[in-house]
Structure 1
């Protein structure tokens, strides 16, 4: 991978874990600084310990959370663990009981009980995420022992990286009550350079999101993409080995086979194959006139209609799915599919109206088995993405 790809694919590059990569990136970074600063406004943190590219989205989306977390309590635990670690020196050791006592004090009195198995389980999941992100190390003991017996202890070490995990803000965040408050700060800071702000937002969207969709005829961001397509194409082709595809109502960055830029779709998972097949089903329904796209190339159907489509796909191709996917109930299978499709901004579920909005990307990237025709007839189990 190139230096730029390494920075985008990792949270940070830690010298103690990969000295060769650390020094290679540090030496090559100057030739990318202009692009990172002018087009993305992404700060680069360089210390003797690490190199980190602050990757900021153009707009906050629901799928941009921590995928390992499934509850608000885990986010609460994680933020408090970061605070706990920040008060420790790098290399300083501590035991789990110190951490649990600290967490208990931060919650309203009596609201956090470690006798509750679910609380212990969510804490352990949060700690494992801290291991994954190199925030702390385990020296002795096992979390599984604490899970079954809250009196068991585990010895940890603070790596010192926690102080670089949270992005530094230019203004105090204590008065912020929502993501809109945070976004407003960026607008205020750059209000005198609106073109500069728009350019950064567009580059961030193209880098961080699967697709950029036009919202209406006066969408200035999409107009910018069309007007400056040559510059955008040059930058992404030169720096990321990627092509810019612009359609009537959407724009995409399509990576070359040898390129790597964070999480991509499709990957090698069986669930990605399933979604490619579902996208083919969606396109067929549009071609057959069963579903209609609006002026923005979006399709609105009921959740029941979409559930029926997903179920039909599973029934037709279940022999090619992994045992784990085959054994899922129709509702659980639907949940797995829609969770991933929402994460990649392919669909959006509205639980109030019980509807599904299908975005144009579903018609752009579909899956077929190599000997399969448009009617779904096939002979063997090999597949090819179209």
Structure 2
């Protein structure tokens, strides 16, 4: 029997971290976690509704926190997807499933025929096209991983090579009904992406402002004054101590507010949240590049905007990376040591953009390095280079 605790404790804090990090918690996969969240449903639901305007769905089979961002950002896409067509097909498959009952089964061939009718005419879906077949396989594989459909019998991998030789039997689950959130009106009546994002916001200015600020702080790596309304930034400045208290007691986060930047930082490394930096090589490259940026700022004149953004051309960006490579590449992986500087620069820039540490002005061909890039740097320990040299000599 659950007691449904009505106060925030350490377990509720960890539950909120999981809810912020994962799309949903499936009871069959995580029965203990499901029970913990269910036990603290009241306090979690109250906080999320009051501070963020988020809806907590507690279903007999799963729990889902509907996390609606204050603004759409590039990193928010489905990482397994590679083309816009993947998203088109995902929506079309969901439309196909709407006409079926939970546990209904369907054939891959049946789905393919229906998708020709459900996708927009502009797509010109053609299953003889390898790119179209590959896109559908990505979508169906991801939907299986998300437990929206389950595969009963299949040789669907053949579909990648030949549409006529492949067949598969799938079954719909209850989760497919809850992937899309509900809207106050039909989607075709919205005129823009921003209008969809703001559809559930309160008409009350003070409530709407609070929800937008907390959504930014909980879902974005960093927030800048330039991307917010004046009222939202003033809310952060004026209520920073209240926001800091809320973030710490509910999600284990520490609020940092600077002149034109604010971000929430994980306090305990045992946190369930997606943490940065991680152990990937590209992250190490970033930390070393950030050290190079600080070195340049301290030793030479660097072009900056009135917001404090650093202006670089693509050539300058590669030159700074080249300098970084000369200082640190003895600790880089074999892949990054061998690949071209241009490819590494492209990967690093994409990484910086995802984490809101850079943005690109394509019209002016300018790269802006944003203030968050100065929040952390990385370097090797003083004796690392010598140890690395000795290890290489032993391996020869």
Using structure 2 for the length normalisation, give the TM-score: 0.88
CA distance in structure 1 between the aligned counterparts of 2:195 and 2:46, rounded to whole angstroms: 29
Deviations 1:100-153 (A, max 9, x none): 111122243992111111111121112221122111112222332221221211
Is contact 1:242–1:259 with CA below 8 Å preserved after alignment?
Answer: no
CA distance in structure 1 between the aligned counterparts of 2:72 and 2:124, rounded to whole angstroms: 30
Q: Within 5 Å, which residues of 2 pair with 1:111-150?
A: 111-150=124-163
Gaps of at least 5 residues in structure 2 are 1-10, 390-396
Cα pair distance change 1:101/1:48, threshold 3 Å: same
Return the match for 1:195 from 195, 206, 213.
206
Residue aligning to 1:26: 38
Is contact 1:14–1:49 with CA below 8 Å preserved after alignment?
Answer: yes
Where in structure 1 do 4 or more consecutive aligned residues deviate above 4 Å?
A: none
Cα pair distance change 1:321/1:173, threshold 3 Å: same
Task: Report the RMSD for the aligned CA atoms in angstroms.
Answer: 2.4
Residue aligning to 2:377: 366
Return the match for 2:336 from 308, 325, 330.
325
CA distance in structure 2 between the aligned counterparts of 1:311 and 1:180, rounded to whole angstroms: 39
Residue aligning to 1:102: 114
CA distance in structure 2 between the aligned counterparts of 1:325 and 1:140, rounded to whole angstroms: 41
Residue aligning to 1:248: 259
Deviations 1:33-88 (A, max 9, x none): 22111111110111212110001112222322222222111110111111122222
More deviation, 47-56/260-269: 260-269
Return the match for 1:170 from 148, 173, 184.
184
Residue aligning to 1:207: 218
Secondary structure of 2:188 counterpart: coil
More deviation, 194-203/121-130: 121-130
CA distance in structure 1 between the aligned counterparts of 2:339 and 2:173, rounded to whole angstroms: 40
Return the match for 2:105 from 68, 76, 93.
93
Deviation at 1:97, TM superposition (A): 1.1
Q: Within 5 Å, which residues of 2 pair with 1:350-361?
A: 350-361=361-372
Is contact 2:71–2:194 with CA below 8 Å preserved after alignment?
Answer: no
CA distance in structure 2 between the aligned counterparts of 1:252 and 1:194, rounded to whole angstroms: 23
Cα pair distance change 1:25/1:378, threshold 3 Å: same
Q: Does the alignment pair 1:239 with 2:250?
A: yes
Secondary structure of 1:167 counterpart: coil
Q: Within 5 Å, which residues of 2 pair with 1:241-320?
A: 241-260=252-271, 262-320=273-331
Is contact 1:300–1:358 with CA below 8 Å preserved after alignment?
Answer: yes
Q: Between Structure 1 and Structure 2, which shows a larger proportion of helix residues?
A: 2
Is contact 2:18–2:273 with CA below 8 Å preserved after alignment?
Answer: no
CA distance in structure 1 between the aligned counterparts of 2:141 and 2:336, rounded to whole angstroms: 26
Q: Does the alignment pair 1:336 with 2:343?
A: no
Deviation at 1:254, TM superposition (A): 0.8
CA distance in structure 1 between the aligned counterparts of 2:64 and 2:229, rounded to whole angstroms: 37
Residue aligning to 1:84: 96
CA distance in structure 2 between the aligned counterparts of 1:115 and 1:315, rounded to whole angstroms: 49
Is contact 2:102–2:173 with CA below 8 Å preserved after alignment?
Answer: yes
Deviations 1:225-277 (A, max 9, x none): 12111111111111122211111111111102335354332112111111111
Residue aligning to 2:230: 219
Is contact 2:51–2:211 with CA below 8 Å preserved after alignment?
Answer: yes
CA distance in structure 1 between the aligned counterparts of 2:63 and 2:227, rounded to whole angstroms: 40
Cα pair distance change 1:380/1:198, threshold 3 Å: farther
Gaps of at least 5 residues in structure 1 are none
Residue aligning to 2:386: 379
Q: Does the alignment pair 1:36 with 2:48?
A: yes
Cα pair distance change 1:115/1:19, threshold 3 Å: same
Using structure 1 for the length normalisation, give the TM-score: 0.90
